[in-house]
Structure 1
């Protein structure tokens, strides 16, 4: 994955849970709203997910103080249960998430095209923070 000026960014984590549990936590709206934020002063009050090729998803990310919110969403281009999710966001950037079954743990590798507004390290840090929240949430289910 490459954009005109930037090479894709990858974040990853090993989640101490079997792949079926990790997949469910990643894909079910009732779980997404519990982990999809980069910091404690944000939350995800809404999530909708039609997990199939051609299906769409939307997650609302909002500051808890009500000062700012935005919807993050896209269209799925590939879905392989317990293994792979790929999608394109509204501005055309591509995202790929690989779920590597490691028995009692799952390696999650998320690769995404950067946007052109924020520095690469800020984007990497934000996506890694969300993935870290996902790991923490999923391991306590």
Structure 2
């Protein structure tokens, strides 16, 4: 299993970058979209969006069978353009936001963890990103 290569997921959202940024970073919104599937939810989200600030989202199976905290510390924040952070286990994540004619391209690149195959991780992260796209496009 090759965990030395970064993994990338991406989507194009039919919304302006200002809305995408708000929905991506505000805890009230994070709790509504941050799930890979309908049987998961995020009951708690905290976000101190600044260099050196911390974030943490509690992701849980709705049946209570499993849950974990997903969090880290921000390394770089450029409003409407870039969020870079280091997860608690030392892995790096970069998220780029690019506005294109009232659409926003979101590209996430991350270091894979060593427990699950990178392709499995890519599918999970893409599912969450797809859920974000759906939420951002359907919510005013």
Cα distance in structure 2, aligned partners of 1:138 and 1:51: 19
1 CA distance for matches of 2:118 and 2:102? Answer: 33
Q: Could you tell me the TM-score, scaled by structure 1's length?
A: 0.96
Does the alignment pair 1:33 with 2:38? no
Cα pair 2:45 2:58 within 8 Å, conserved: yes
* Residue 60 of structure 2 is aligned to residue 75 of structure 1: no
For structure 1, the residue ranges without an aligned partner over 5 or more in a row are none
Q: Which whole-Å deviations, capped at 9, do the CAs of 1:1-40 have from their partners, x for residues lacking one? A: xxx9421000000000000000000000000000001011
Task: Please report the TM-score for the alignment, with normalisation by the length of structure 2.
Answer: 0.97
Partner Cα distance (2:6, 2:89) in 1: 15
Equivalent pairs counted in the alignment come to: 138
Question: Is 1:52 equivalent to 2:50 in the alignment?
Answer: yes
Partner deviation per Cα, 1:81-123 (whole Å, 9 max, x = no partner) = 0000000000100000000011210000000000000011100
Match of 1:117 in 2: 115
What root-mean-square deviation, in Å, do the aligned CA atoms of Structure 1 and Structure 2 show? Answer: 0.9
1:128 to 2:119 alignment: no
Runs (4+) off by over 2 Å: none
Q: For structure 2, which runs of at least 5 residues remain unmatched after alignment?
A: none
